[in-house]
Each structure stands twice: as structure tokens, then as C-alpha cells.
Chains A and B, each alone.
Chain A
């Protein structure tokens, strides 16, 4: 499976789309990160990096993000 890019993760965090087909863990994490980005837009890069790390460490999350 190809790695998820930081740019893709930034797009996910700036979006408000429902990820109903993603795992519960992915939804909860992205929900938290989106809220943090909303409160501090300058943190987008840092939060996207956190999402990239999450996907790189958890196959199910990489799969979730690849299928958005």
C-alpha cells in the first residue's frame, strides 16, 4: 500500500466530510485533529504529520485513508 502524503492528510483535515466507512479509531482521531486545526489553523502541518504517522503505524488507518 502506498504511503499517505502530508498533502492528502492536510486535505482530509481541512474537509468536513463524513468518513462513515472508515474505522471508528480513524474517525475519532480525524475528528479531534480537525477540531484542533479549526482552533489553531497554523497547526495544520503538525496535525497532518500526526495523521501521516498514525497511518504509517496502523495498516487499517492507511487503508481507511487510501479509500476515502
Chain B
């Protein structure tokens, strides 16, 4: 697997040579690429070999080498539940969804219940835009099979592997539960926003609670899924409306804790990653990029797009997702 920043001409030549690719970049660049075995999503933030950077004149290309074949496909939000129909036995799927779209919401809420979701690794990310363009531009995804860009729905690259090759995926979450282990948050209802929450069994207004307790909302709520720490990040606290918005849905009944503070995001990522990132697919979260001030800072050898949400079977926040292919 090769990760590199390429010019549009270089990426186009790679596509025309038959390469199987996942590509991230600014929309006008992705729109120039020829049809082929690729999918793309908009992002102008990247983790590069030299550190975090905003790049608008090149596209970040992951070229999957040593794989058998791939099929790019577009799924409308209403068809996402059938994502596993495209799975290739023993292979993997990369899924890209535009931020703020109907598909983003649908996937976040419904993916945990999808049929055969876990039958093979499913990784990907939520496409974004430059933060200066919020309200002016929309995140997009591109289906290389048709060369078409979409502001809603999702694109998937279903990849098959040769006999004997294997693939694995995992996450790196630099946050842990336990900033205040005695304080747990349990939501009566799921969704991208909440008014009330049970804090240690007492129902309170979450917006009021966060404000009155001066809680640093750059830190996510963290749930422990049998050893997998899953974050939900706070998007906004509206004390007038008494409502808190999240970047991923909270799940009713799940016990969350506020994450412990992280002093050095870049150093903590580097310490939690091996030096094997050169040959792996990965993405990291825009909130880590912003809150950790990663621009110009290296997080090790894992490079890739900085995204508005990460996918490792389900929607994640403030998490690095990685995928590794082992040759036969």
C-alpha cells in the first residue's frame, strides 16, 4: 500500500494505469480525475510525513497494491443498509460519506444494526471542507466508476484480496475514560443531540451541567465497548435551548465518562502507533487536528486525510482508524 500526495496529473496517470485507489482532496481537483477504480472524498487537511498540513494543490492518494480487484459503488442513504451485499469474501471495504448529509446521519444511527456489518473490515471516513468554507461549500464524495461527485449518499470501494492475503483493522484512541471515574453519563435517548442526561443516576440538563462544572468540551465522552473505547465529541452547547449537539450519536443506556485531558496530542499519537504506518491506510479526526494543534507536527508514520468523522464499522469521533493488508 502506498500513501502519497500527488498532483492531479500524477493521480490521473495512476488511475489510467489501472490502480485501485482511495483519494482525498479539494473538490475541484477530484472532479478532474478520470474514471477508474477509485473513490474520493473532499478534505484539505492531511497528516503528511512532515506533519499536519492544509493542501489544496495536490490529492492524497492511497494506492492498494497487491489486491486482487475492486469495485467502486455509490449508495444512496436508503441503500446503505445493504452495504454488506457488496462485500468481497476475505476482503475489505472503504466507505466515504459527506459530512452533514442524510447518509451521514443514517449511517451513524443505523450502522450498528446492519446485517453482516462485521463480515469483513469496513473502514472509511466522513468527508469535509476547509473550515473557512463552512456554509459556503458542501463536503462531497466521488464515485470513480462514473466520475460523479455527490453531496449525499456514500461511495464504497469493495476490495478483494488474493488467496492467502489477509486484512485487519483497528483504532487508536488517545483518550481514556477516567478524568472523573466516579461521574458517569447515561442518556435516556439516543441521537446527535441531548437535553437530559443521567449523571450518576440523577437526571440533569446536560448543557447546564457542562457549563456549571466548567467541563472542557474539547474532550469527548468515552464509552467502553468491551475494551474498545468509542468517543462521542461535543459539537455545541446551547445553554439557552438547554441542548448539546454531538458529532456522533450517543447511544441510550451506554455509560459514558468524560475523557482525561491529553497534554500532547502529537506525541501521544506517536507513542500509541508503531512505525509501520507507511504501508497502512489511516485517517485521523479534524478535532484532533484542531485541538491538538497538529499543523506542522508529526504524529509518526501514519499519514492520511484529516476527516469530519472516522469509520471503523461504525461512526467514530476523535479517533485514528487504520487498516493493514498482509500479503500472502
The chain A residues found within 8 Å of chain B, CB to CB, are 17-20, 22-32, 34-36, 38-39, 54, 57-58, 61
A35 and B170 in contact, given A20-B227, A28-B314, A57-B119 (Cβ under 8 angstroms): no
Q: Which residue of A lies closest to B312 (CB)?
A: A24
B291 CB–A CB distance under 8 Å: no
Q: Which residues of B approach A to under 8 Å, CB–CB?
A: 112, 116, 118-119, 121, 168-171, 223-228, 230, 251-254, 312-314
Known interface pairs A39-B253, A57-B119, A58-B118. Does A24 touch B170 (Cβ–Cβ under 8 Å)? yes
- Bound Cα distance A22, B225 (Å): 11
Q: Given A19-B227, A25-B121, A26-B118, 13 other A-B contacts at CB below 8 A? A: A17-B226, A22-B226, A24-B170, A24-B171, A24-B312, A25-B118, A27-B226, A31-B225, A31-B228, A32-B225, A35-B251, A39-B252, A61-B118
Chain A contact residues: over half helix, strand or loop, or mixed?
A: helix
A22–B227 touching, CB < 8 Å:
yes
Cα(A48)–Cα(B230), bound, Å: 22
CB within 8 Å for A23 and B252 given contacts A18-B224, A28-B228: no
**A44 CB → nearest B CB, Å:** 15
Q: How far is the CA of A31 from the CA of B252 in the complex (A)?
A: 13
Which of B118, B226, B252, B312 has the most CB atoms of chain A within a 10 A radius of its CB?
B226
What are 15 A-B residue pairs whose CB atoms fall within 8 Å in the complex? A18-B224, A22-B226, A22-B227, A24-B170, A26-B226, A27-B227, A28-B230, A30-B225, A31-B230, A32-B225, A35-B253, A39-B252, A57-B116, A58-B119, A61-B118
Are B226's CB and A19's CB within 8 A? yes
* Chain A neighbourhood of B225, CB < 8 A: 27-28, 30-32
Query: Once bound together, how far apart are the Cα atoms of A25 and B121, in whole Å?
Result: 8
Please tell me if the beta carbons of B253 and A24 are within 8 angstroms of each other in the complex.
no
Cα distance, A50 to B223, chains bound together (Å): 22
Q: For residue B296, give the distance in angstroms from its CB to the closest CB of chain A.
A: 31
Q: Give Cα A24 to B224, complex, Å.
A: 12
Among candidates A18, A54, A57, residue contacting B226 with C-beta atoms closer than 8 Å? A18
Q: Considering the complex of A and B, which 4 residue pairs feature the smallest CB-CB distances, nearest first?
A: A31-B225, A18-B227, A27-B228, A25-B118
Q: How far is the CB of B178 from chain A (nearest CB, A)?
A: 13
| A48 nearest CB across to chain B (Å) | 15
A38 / chain B contacts, CB cutoff of 8 Å? 253
In the complex, A36→B228 CA distance in Å?
A: 17
How many Å lie between the Cα of A22 and that of B170 in the bound state? 11
Given contacts A25-B118, A57-B119, A35 and B254 within 8 Å (CB-CB): yes
* Separation of A27 and B230 alpha carbons in the complex (Å): 11
Q: Which residue of B lies closest to A12 (CB)?
A: B226
On whether the beta carbons of A24 and B313 are closer than 8 Å, the reply is: yes
CA distance A54 to B169 in the complex (A): 18
In the complex, the chain A residue whose C-beta lies closest to that of B316 is A28
A39 to B190 CA separation, bound complex (whole angstroms):
13
Tell me which residues across on chain B come within 8 A of A28, comparing CB atoms. Answer: 112, 118, 225-226, 228, 230, 313-314
A31 to B112: give the CA distance in the assembly, Å: 11
User: Judging by beta carbons under 8 Å apart, are B313 and A31 in contact?
Assistant: no
CA–CA, A38 and B251, complex, Å: 13
For residue A60, give the distance in angstroms from its CB to the closest CB of chain B.
9
Bound-state Cα–Cα, A54 to B118, Å:
8
Do B253 and A31 have beta carbons less than 8 Å apart? no
Chain B min CB distance to A13 (Å): 10
